[in-house]
Amino acid sequence: MAENLKACSVCCKSSWNQLQDLCRLAKLSCPSLGISKRNLCDFEVEYLCDYKKIREQEYYLVKWYGYPDSESTWEPRQNLKCVRILKQFHKDLERELLRRHQRSRSKPPRHLDPSLANYLVQKAKQRRALRRWEQELNAKRSHLGRITVENEVDLDGPPRAFVYINEYRVGEGITLNQVAVGCECQDCLWDPSGGCCPGASLHKFAYNDQGQVRLRAGLPIYECNSRCRCGYDCPNRVVQKGIRYDLCIFRTDDGRGWGVRTLEKIRKNSFVMEYVGEIITSEEAERRGQIYDRQGTTYLFDLDYVEDVYTVDAAYYGNISHFVNHSCDPNLQVYNVFIDNLDERLPRIAFFATRTIWAGEELTFDYNMQVDPVDMESTRMDSNFGLAGLPGSPKKRVRIECKCGTESCRKYLF
Ligand SMILES: [Zn+2]
Ligand SMILES: [Zn+2]
Ligand SMILES: [Zn+2]
């Protein structure tokens, strides 16, 4: 009988991991499954759930990766090779003990009370969820700057409804027209012909040779485009190259939800990020605004450079700017930018640093910043404050209390 089955094969219903675990349970090494004598006993730790000390021996309750909670086992410390997970467990334990005012020193108690153990499990699950989200964001970004995610404040995980995009997502019935002409400069900065791309629409060249904006807020930026003769290294290509700084989405500890901080020094007048989202008509924005007002959220950004026809909604589709908080004394300034689309009703919105921003500092912009770009004589935004804001909707009906905490705080956002 066995002779007859020699050439016969069936597909295996078990996964690779399950087969590896079967080997481990049976204590069988199997080179073709990657199970050797050396790693025969290595199951993967997903996280640690509990801790106890019996005499001088420390034990940890281990949740095994790929197994249900019911299969979790107590293991003595010397069995565990997951140094990073152990370290994190004790860091979380220490911090939580401190918060609960039980102890101030690093020595853990011999047993954890159930609520503390439960908290540590929640924290471990949250860390895994945030790592996954971080990986997802980085897989979706098309820019140089990396994104990290951190919550050392509460147990909130990734936002439930948010999709990372790198450029505008154009809503139904709206079209972005591709530019038809580019410049013919030898050198766009030092030897421009006809004022380069900005000159073609009677505007000034926006950048110096360091890529820092030198126009006053309110003036539009015209960058070189896909039709231009110049190449990728042209000094008039800045916003189009995307975010280049490593940034961190972090949980604020003063009730302002998520925020964004830079992990690198940003020089004054440097481009930091674009505000992207879904482009919708202002009528649609009006409708959505009423819903958002009720939720107390503000992700609508009116494109009112020339007329108020379109709005950017970053509530669901957005980039890292979705998480940047408001401040009445912000370190980011908004500019209208035109690159491959010259329709003045559809500028791109770019944030530039108003001053040196040091590594570790939070990035902020003024949700109700007012610049009047059509009136070129007007000085900065102060004069028009309170009217239709650039970011944020002028259709706001509710007053949102400001929590920015700066000296110049206006107390209310709208
Ligand atoms: Zn040029
Ligand atoms: Zn050009
Ligand atoms: Zn150029």
| Structure tokens that stand for 305 in this block | 């450079």
Q: Which residues have beta carbons under 5 A from ligand 3 (an ion)? A: 188, 224, 228, 230, 234, 236
Give the ligand whose atoms come closest to the C-alpha of residue 231: 3
Mean predicted confidence (pLDDT) in 27-43: 80
236 CA distance to ligand 1 middle (Å):
7
pLDDT score of 120: 97
185 CA distance to ligand 1 middle (Å):
4
120 CA distance to ligand 3 middle (Å):
54
Q: pLDDT tens digit string along 207-245?
A: 999 999 999 998 999 999 999 999 999 999 999 999 999
Q: pLDDT exceeding 70 applies to what percent of the chain?
A: 90
pLDDT level of residue 386 (50, 70, 90 thresholds): very low
pLDDT score of 394: 40
Indicate the DSSP class of residue 282: H
pLDDT score of 373: 45
pLDDT score of 360: 98
385 CA distance to ligand 1 middle (Å):
36
pLDDT level of residue 124 (50, 70, 90 thresholds): very high
* Predicted confidence (pLDDT) at residue 44 exceeds the cutoff of 50: yes
pLDDT score of 370: 61
pLDDT score of 389: 38
209 CA distance to ligand 2 middle (Å):
15
Of the given ranges (32-36, 81-85, 245-249), which has the lowest mean pLDDT? 32-36
Highest mean pLDDT, choosing among 84-88, 170-174, 388-392? 84-88
pLDDT score of 102: 63
* Beta-bridge mates of residue 35: 30
205 CA distance to ligand 1 middle (Å):
9
Cβ–Cβ under 8 Å, residues 340 and 300:
no
* Predicted confidence (pLDDT) at residue 377 exceeds the cutoff of 50: no
Alpha-carbon distances, residue 303 vs 22, 123, 349, 384, 412 (angstroms): 60, 41, 8, 16, 22
Q: Which residues have beta carbons under 5 A from ligand 2 (an ion)? A: 183, 197, 224, 228
144 CA distance to ligand 3 middle (Å):
21
* Predicted confidence (pLDDT) at residue 378 exceeds the cutoff of 50: no
Alpha-helical segments (H) within 49-168: 83-99, 114-140
pLDDT score of 313: 94
195 CA distance to ligand 3 middle (Å):
11
